[in-house]
Amino acid sequence: MPDALLVHQRLLDFYGIPQWRLTPSPLDELLLTVLSQNTNDKNRDRAFTALKDRFPSWELVRVAAPEMVIDAIRPAGLANQKGPRIQAILQEIYHQHNQGKNEQEPLDLCFLAKYSAEDARRWLMQFKGVGPKTAAIVMLFSLNMPAFPVDTHVYRVTGRLGLRPNEMSVEQAHPHLEAQFPPETYAAAHLNLIRLGREICQARRPNCPACPLKDICVYVKVRL
């Protein structure tokens, strides 16, 4: 099995330090990630912008007619599923943290910054449609908490490299990879593994000769 820190350093040398998109709040990040499920970044961003343009606050999204929310997020696909999920998340945040407070106080997730990482993960995953990947993205990029998100690209690439057992599930891969990589590398390693999966280590036709990790990759050794 290759050393995870070596994998991280090789990808830094190859791609450089990756940049994450800017998001103004943990709640924005959570809802962006819900919208991103089963679609691409462009359509996710179109849907998020349309939702924010139509509703100036998340409170207005919470109390809106469901069909208006669904219509706004159609560019992201699966709008009939994602719209109710977004409103359910906002309703639960309101009931748990805003009910009885000043009605002008915005909905947010800033209170999670006071939680432990495990408590924050558990709290985020109470919602339908929010799994370990979505929770980890919010934790890592918006709450500055240690978490290693595993999407389809990260799962595929780490399996081929031998950084995780082939029979390991996506859910099991989250804590496993968190243990393999040092916490300070989580963000860059996550993003560079995604880039490698999109550009070189693709699902059907991986371009192994172009890969900066080919000499330490289990998949290449077996394939050759």
Residues acting as catalytic residues:
133
**Could you tell me the two tokens for 171?**
């859910």
CA distance 132 to 191: 16
What DSSP state is assigned to residue 216? G
Residue 112 corresponds to which amino acid?
Answer: L
Q: Which residue has the tokens 């891969």?
A: 173
CA distance 179 to 3: 12
> Ramachandran region of residue 100, left (φ > 0), alpha (ψ -120 to 50) or beta?
left
Which is it for the CA torsion 94, 27, 194, 72, positive or negative?
positive
* Residue positions counted in the chain: 224
